[in-house]
Amino acid sequence: MRFFVILLCMSLTVYFLPVAGQVPHSPGPPPALPRPARPDTARVRQLLQAAQQWSTADIPQAIRLSQQALGLARQLRDSVGVGQALLRLSTLHRRHNDFALARRLARQAQALFVRQHDTEGQGRAWLQLSLIDMLQGNPVPALASGLKGLRLAEQAGDAQTKIRLQATLGDIYYKMGSYDEALPALQIALAGGQRTHDQQVTLLALNGLGNSFQMLKKWPQAIYYYQQALALSQQLGDAIGETGSETSLAEVYGLQGNQAAALAHGLRAQQLVRATHDDYNLPAVELMLARAYLLAHQTDSAVALARHGLQLSQQARSNENIRNASDILAQAYAQRHDFAQAYYFRNLHLAYNDTLSGEDTRRRTSRLRYDYELTSKQAQIDLLTKTRQLQAQKAARQRLQLNGLLVGLAGVLLVAGLLWRNIYLKQRANRHLNEMNTQIAAHRDQLNRTLTELQAAQAQLVQREKMASLGEMTAGVAHEIQNPLNFVTNFSDLNVELLAELQEELAGEHLSTSARENIQQLLEDLTLNQVKIQEHGARADRIVKRMLEHSHPSSGARQATDLNALAEDSLRLAYHGWCARNKDFSATLTTDLDPHLQPVPAVAQDLSRVLMNLLTNAFYAVTEKSKHAPATYRPEVQVQTRQTDHAVEIRVRDNGAGIPLAVREKIFQPFFTTKPTGEGTGLGLSLSYDVITKGHGGALSVESQEGEYCQFTISLPVTVGEMVERAVI
């Protein structure tokens, strides 16, 4: 059996107190208490809080403060403060090895809680009594007190005390050698401590699990839980808990034969005990080191430490430490062949071992466990019996209510028959009224549809009239501009020729060098100006021609158009036209036409203009890119058609230089162009956009990645109604 569990329990049970708050881990004194004008219950709580703070640094001082709190609480007739002070004093005297006084104080607190019918306080008092018996090595009364406290904590709904009792019971089962019962109880306590962030319960459960796995010789699990307990003790600054974990690790490594690790952890534990002047835990640490020296066959050191540990344990009346010390001494004297002493200490070991974990002890603890479970089940049976009685009374009341309901139901049925006749007549009248309403609603919907169609037709006529007027005005303006523009371009051509002749005439004249240079410079400037006038006149001439082309009247009549055939023809015509102007040009033409494309109502002439313009722009883009691209670049222009649910799409894609993002939103604006000056009018995409959106109720969009590709998508509605509606909108 293990001897260092008492060490761990002693270090943790100081926290199992009824007063809230955390115990500081620094040994320094707490701040001075304020002095109220007159004594009251708040002063009692302050004294108890100060006692809790002193409990880790100076137990006598903590006892004095608790006694002051007890006296003041009795003077004020503060029953709550009296109970808390009694439990605090019991804890402090238990830690000071005065178990008799600790037990008497706990009994007084228990009697007080019984008189007050305080179930929660009774549970905490039984927890205190269970800890006292466990530390003295009396497992039977410890288990009895723990089970009583557990039942009371369950009744009071005191989750914290219940978790702490689970941890205590698990430790008791371990010390009795009932590891199958200890492990589940300790696992429950560990989960509860982690869930409620109760670090002290978590620490106690970790050490208990390590102890149980060690006795089952499952070394990896034991070392794992001991290391977790050691880390938590260091985190909390709990030197006593750290001592217990170091002691446990030393024994496990010793049992595994790792004497170096065992001695290292044992010496660390001894160092902690001496540093904290922990006289209570000194016997357990000395016995652990004695066992380590015994395993290393250093019998002299083992005997010296074990004898001193036995003496201290007998003074403290710690039965478990006495049993462990006698076991170590029996083995040590046997190794030294001093069989008389070995026989004496073996008999002493057997006597104390029978007290702690003999057959009678197991039988009595099993009986206690059985009584606890029987009491719990009896309480459940009583609860079920009361529930059945209540259910029977409820059923009787329900039967009476049912009989009354049946009588009332008969009267209700009679009234319902009369009401049904009235309802039937009203429903027949409502059906007739609903039929009339349905007819009226259908007639109204028909009128609304007719009105919508008339409004759409009217809007279309207005749009056509606007477009016709705009075309006439555009044609008139273009014609008026074209005549003076022709004079400008013609006279600019003539001026270029005259300037050339003037230069030839001046070449034959005798002039000074400076005069000739000045005249030559002026002639060159005039020639350059005439060339610029000629270029911009030509550009204006193209704009006028485009305006005239746009103002050409079209039939405006939409006919079912095969877009696949229109796209193929436009691609072929645009390609041949571009090749005629650019002799060295060649490109890959790709078509991806939907074979299931249905005819679309459209003006074929206008759509052909749009496609020719988009394709011409595509050929221009790939031509410009090929001038600067590597030799591996292959120009490609693709035309694709697709059928969607409500529209038909035509896509024109090229692998040219693409359109920069900064200008992509402006390309459909009139007179905006990305081409160099003189090469574009800025009207092609603008006119195409108007034809698609206003003339056909469709959409024209662009998608591009600079340096990679550019794709224009034409989307046309598949019905005339949708086309007219979108055009109006």
3-state helix/strand/coil string of 4-73: CHHHHHHHHHHHCCCCCCCCCCCCCCCCCCCCCCCCCHHHHHHHHHHHHHHCCCCHHHHHHHHHHHHHHH
pLDDT classification of 5: cutoffs 50, 70, 90: very low
CA-only gyration radius of the chain, Å: 53
Span of 1-15, 217-231, 234-248 with lowest mean pLDDT: 1-15
Give the residue with greater pLDDT, 72 vs 315.
72
pLDDT on residue 635: 93
pLDDT on residue 545: 65
Q: How do 636-643 and 588-592 pair as beta strands?
A: parallel
Q: How many CA atoms lie within 13 A of 368 on its CB side?
A: 22
5-9, 330-334, 549-553, 621-625: which is most confident: 621-625
pLDDT on residue 4: 41
DSSP 308-373: HHHHHHHHHT-HHHHHHHHHHHHHHHHHTT-HHHHHHHHHHHHHHHHHHH-HHHHHHHHHHHHHHH
Angle at 318 (CA atoms; ends 254, 150), nearest 5 degrees: 95
With a cut of 90, say whether residue 639 has pLDDT above it.
yes
pLDDT on residue 523: 81
With a cut of 60, say whether residue 15 has pLDDT above it.
no
With a cut of 80, say whether residue 638 has pLDDT above it.
yes
Instruction: Report how far residue 73's alpha carbon sits from residue 54's, in angstroms, rounded to the nearest whole number.
Output: 20
Give the residue with greater pLDDT, 543 vs 597.
597
Q: Which two tokens stand for residue 433?
A: 């009224």
pLDDT classification of 555: cutoffs 50, 70, 90: low
Angle at 328 (CA atoms; ends 350, 139), nearest 5 degrees: 45
Instruction: Report how far residue 28's alpha carbon sits from residue 204's, in angstroms, rounded to the nearest whole number.
Output: 25
With a cut of 50, say whether residue 32 has pLDDT above it.
no
Instruction: Report how far residue 174's alpha carbon sits from residue 5's, in angstroms, rounded to the nearest whole number.
Output: 9
Whether the CB-CB separation of 561 and 607 falls below 8 Å is answered with yes
Give the residue with greater pLDDT, 469 vs 403.
403
With a cut of 60, say whether residue 586 has pLDDT above it.
yes
Span of 257-271, 295-309, 669-683 with lowest mean pLDDT: 669-683
pLDDT classification of 36: cutoffs 50, 70, 90: very low
- Percent share of the chain, pLDDT over 70: 79
Q: How many CA atoms lie within 13 A of 247 on its CB side?
A: 31
Is the domain defined by 8-15+42-117 classed in CATH 1.25.40?
Answer: yes
What length does the chain have?
Answer: 729
Query: For all residues of the chain together, what is the average pLDDT?
Result: 78
pLDDT classification of 539: cutoffs 50, 70, 90: low
Q: What are phi and psi of 123, to 5 degrees?
A: -60, -40
With a cut of 50, say whether residue 1 has pLDDT above it.
no
Question: Residue 652 carries which side chain, given as an amino acid letter?
Answer: V
With a cut of 70, say whether residue 575 has pLDDT above it.
yes
Whether the CB-CB separation of 122 and 113 falls below 8 Å is answered with yes
With a cut of 60, say whether residue 218 has pLDDT above it.
yes
Span of 81-90, 300-309, 461-470 with lowest mean pLDDT: 461-470
Span(s) in the chain for CATH 3.30.565.10: 559-728
With a cut of 80, say whether residue 611 has pLDDT above it.
yes
With a cut of 70, say whether residue 530 has pLDDT above it.
yes
Report, as an integer, the average pLDDT of 706-717.
Answer: 91
pLDDT on residue 654: 94
Report, as an integer, the average pLDDT of 205-224.
Answer: 87
Q: Which two tokens stand for residue 81?
A: 């403060």
Whether the CB-CB separation of 27 and 347 falls below 8 Å is answered with no
pLDDT on residue 648: 92
With a cut of 80, say whether residue 146 has pLDDT above it.
yes
Q: What is the DSSP letter of 646?
A: S
Report, as an integer, the average pLDDT of 685-698.
Answer: 82
Instruction: Report how far residue 169's alpha carbon sits from residue 149's, in angstroms, rounded to the nearest whole number.
Output: 11
Task: Indicate the burial class of 159 (C-beta count within 10 angstroms; 0-12, 13-18, 19 or more).
Answer: middle
pLDDT on residue 676: 62
pLDDT on residue 376: 58
Give the residue with greater pLDDT, 347 vs 700.
700
pLDDT tens, position by position, 383-432: 666 777 777 787 777 888 888 888 888 878 888 888 888 888 888 888 88
pLDDT classification of 680: cutoffs 50, 70, 90: low
With a cut of 60, say whether residue 550 has pLDDT above it.
no
Give the residue with greater pLDDT, 467 vs 516.
516
The CA distances from residue 425 to 155, 412, 416, 597, 703, in Å, are 65, 20, 14, 57, 67
With a cut of 90, say whether residue 314 has pLDDT above it.
no
Span(s) in the chain for CATH 1.25.40: 8-15+42-117
Whether the CB-CB separation of 66 and 91 falls below 8 Å is answered with no
559-728 in CATH: which number?
A: 3.30.565.10
pLDDT classification of 7: cutoffs 50, 70, 90: very low
Q: Which two tokens stand for residue 451?
A: 């009105």
